[in-house]
Chains A and B, each alone.
Chain A
Amino acid sequence: MTIFKLSWRNLVASPLNTILSLLLMSLGVGIISLLILLNNEMKQQVKNNLKEIDMVVGAKGSPLQLILSSVYHIDNPTGNIPLSSINKLKKNRLVDLVIPLSYGDSYKGFRIVGSTHDYFDLYNAEIKEGRRWEGGFEVVVGSDVARMHNLQIGDNFYGSHGLLKGGHVHDNYAYTVVGVLNFSGTVIDKLILTDYQSVWNVHNKDDDSEMEITAALFKFKNPTALIKLPRKVNETTNLQAAVPVFEMNRLINLLGIGFNSIQFIAVVIMIVSGLSIFISLYNSLRRRSYELALMRVHGASRWQLVKLIQFEAIFLSFIGAFFGLLLSRLSVYILSSLVSENNTMNNFPLTFVPEELWLLPSALLIGILAALIPTLQAYRTNIPKLLIDA
């Protein structure tokens, strides 16, 4: 029976204390790890979908709303703008590419977005089956949409007004599926894409009114335009220009405050777990101090007793941290299947995220610190007093 094994047996011999310490440690590590994973996932999503969009122009309103609705397709549109006003901006020599977007309709919860073929290129979207749209009311569906609603080439459906299920159905115009996209890991997987002219036609009652779109994505020729152009648009037209990078950084910073406070709570839980390790070691040592004296009488050195206690603490913190990391992955798995009804598990992270690497050494450090006083007690074990005076 080595000291290492004996430490393990001591832990197994008092299961309740051991489970409490493990539980606290895994909760602390698990919450921090979950936050890191979610934060990472969010940043990744933000970056993936941002692509090379330098500026978004839409109707006046909240710039964040404009970005969220036009780039990430998670908010309502700010309103409509005339297509002609965008065409004027297009003439600016700093502008490289303009992609018009018309959205606001949906099919069974998935958004219908009218655009041009440039939109495919922006996301490097590849056609898995069929082709891009050619004429009006032809649609290309993202891979999640196709999978969820089992849409195939040649299928017809009606769009409904608004972005939620149960809006007014535009039953005068039917869309036809002509293409299905490959999975890309971007927002385009969850979109139904068509020609922006078609979206306008669905809504336009009289043919004379000027054509409108919802927003336009801009790509610049050089970065200096980032400073000049949005300001110019906001000051000289009644349109709103927003820079996605700025807005998303602002959003991440806002969320960061929430993340930080949850992280603080998790660190407190980790420290409490250290306290629990300390209390259970301290108590068990008081109960079995004679054991240590006995071991000393049989020839164990002081350092062997130190090792005995330290191993117990290290076992607890290491196993606790391990379960914590497991817990966070399980939570992400469950969350991802709860939150998104289309159940995309593609981003399920099984490997270590670099930011998580410090969790294991911190857990070990907490364990070792918690065992410091009990270790000192073990080191100072007074053999005659414990065994003979008893």
Chain B
Amino acid sequence: MLKTTSISFSYDNLNSFIFPEISLNNLEDLLILGKSGIGKTTFIQILAGLLTPDKGAISLNGVNYADLSPKKLDEFRGKNISLVFQKPYFIKSINLIENLLTTLKLSGNEVDNKKCEYLLEQIGLSDKCYSKTYELSEGEKQRASIAMAVCKNPDLILADEPTASLDDENCDIIIKLLKEQANNSNSKLIIITHDQRLKSQFKNTITL
């Protein structure tokens, strides 16, 4: 369960944000809609534990972020939280499946070749396992980045504008995939976007 209570954050006097309270159970998903400059990215950084809020508390599965040392928080994030970015990122020097395996290794999970192959097969990238990530098309990269996010079975998947640069067809594919994979790995899914196309696909929606 993810729970936030009265979070606020300010960069300076002009840019201060107050964020809504969230309570999310496993297998639930949430769409957070908002215009540019409303603090979407700030909110996702706070939820990921990358930024510390001025006020309020966040807890994931009963663990309060504020109780963890920076090092412990890093470990906690590595194990429990995955991020999907607008622009997909990979380690360039190694191939796609090695990227997945490295993710497993770094997050302290068991390095399981079969599992990664299976995951890539489900996502429709089984023939790209041993390709370099920069050889993939844009759509394939975005799908691969979802594989990167879900392979470690995180508790929480945070997606920051995952569809912003995709056409309608790919947008549908990615959202479907995200929901499906979050479901498979028993994760909570939060998507933060300004993309109105997604509104119809989520039951729970918050507008900032």
Q: Quick check: A294 and B75 within 8 Å, CB to CB?
A: no
Interchain CB contact (< 8 A) of B107 among A14, A293, A299: A299
Residues 1-49 (chain B) with a chain A CB within 8 angstroms:
41, 44-45, 48
Cα distance A384–B78 in the bound complex, in angstroms: 14
Query: With A6-B91, A388-B85 in contact, is A298–B107 under 8 Å at CB?
Result: yes
Instruction: Verify A295–B92 contact, CB threshold 8 A.
Output: no
B11 to chain A, nearest CB (A): 12
What total count of A-B pairs have CB within 8 Å?
A: 74
Residue total for B at the interface (Cβ-Cβ under 8 A) = 32
Tell me if B106 and A298 are in contact (CB < 8 A). yes
Least Cβ–Cβ distance between B53 and chain A, in angstroms: 13
Please tell me if the beta carbons of A384 and B93 are within 8 angstroms of each other in the complex: no
A291/B92 in contact, CB under 8 A = yes
Q: Which of A271-313 contact B (CB under 8 A)?
A: 288, 290-291, 293-301, 304
B residues within 8 A CB of A231?
A: none
Interface residues of A in 129-144 (CB under 8 A from B): none
CA distance A389 to B44 in the complex (A): 12
Contacts of B44 in A (CB 8 A): 388
A384 touches B152 (CB 8 A): no
In the complex where A6-B102, A298-B107, A388-B41 touch, is A12 in contact with B93 (Cβ < 8 A)? yes
For residue B197, give the distance in angstroms from its CB to the closest CB of chain A.
Answer: 22
* A257 interface residue per 8 A CB criterion: no
Complexed CA–CA distance, A50 and B18 (Å) = 91
Residue with the greatest number of chain A CB neighbours at <10 A, chosen from B41, B79, B91, B111:
B91
**Is A148 engaged at the interface, CB distance under 8 Å to the other chain?**
no
Chain B residue nearest to A287 in the complex (CB): B92
Query: Which of A288, A293, A297 is close to B92, meaning CB atoms less than 8 Å apart?
Result: A288
Q: Which of B84-137 contact A (CB under 8 A)?
A: 85, 87, 89-94, 98, 101-103, 105-108, 111
- Docked-complex contact A387 and B85, CB < 8 angstroms: yes
Interface residues on A, range: 20 to 34
| A9 and B48 alpha carbons, distance in the complex (Å) | 30
Which residues of chain A are near B41, meaning CB under 8 Å?
A: 388-389
| A299–B79 CB distance below 8 A | yes
The answer, yes or no, to whether A92 is at the interface (CB within 8 Å) is: no
List residues of A (1-22) whose CB comes within 8 Å of B's CBs. 1-2, 6, 9-10, 12-14
* B83 contacts the other chain (CB 8 A): yes
- The answer, yes or no, to whether B77 is at the interface (CB within 8 Å) is yes
Question: Is A390 interfacial (CB-CB < 8 Å)?
Answer: yes
Q: Does B160 count as interface, using CB distance less than 8 angstroms?
A: yes
Interfacial chain A residues near B48, Cβ < 8 Å: 297
B80 CB, min distance to chain A CBs, angstroms? 9
Q: Are A299's CB and B91's CB within 8 A?
A: no
Q: Determine if A383 is an interface residue (Cβ-Cβ < 8 Å).
A: yes
Look across to chain A and name the residue whose beta carbon is closest to the beta carbon of B94.
A9
Chain B residues with CB under 8 Å of A300's CB are 78, 106
B128 to chain A, nearest CB (A): 17
User: B203: which A residues are within 8 A, CB to CB?
Assistant: none
Nearest to B46 among chain A residues (CB) is A384
Q: Which of B48, B50, B160 has the most CB of A within 10 A?
A: B50
Q: List 9 A-B contacts (CB under 8 A).
A: A2-B105, A9-B98, A295-B91, A295-B106, A297-B78, A299-B106, A301-B74, A301-B75, A304-B106
- Chain B interface (Cβ < 8 Å from any Cβ of A): 41, 44-45, 48, 50-51, 71, 74-75, 77-79, 83, 85, 87, 89-94, 98, 101-103, 105-108, 111, 152, 160
Query: Given contacts A1-B105, A388-B44, A390-B87, could you give 17 more A-B pairs where the C-beta distance is less than 8 Å?
Result: A2-B105, A9-B94, A9-B98, A12-B93, A293-B89, A295-B91, A297-B48, A297-B77, A298-B103, A298-B106, A299-B106, A300-B78, A301-B74, A301-B75, A384-B50, A387-B85, A388-B85
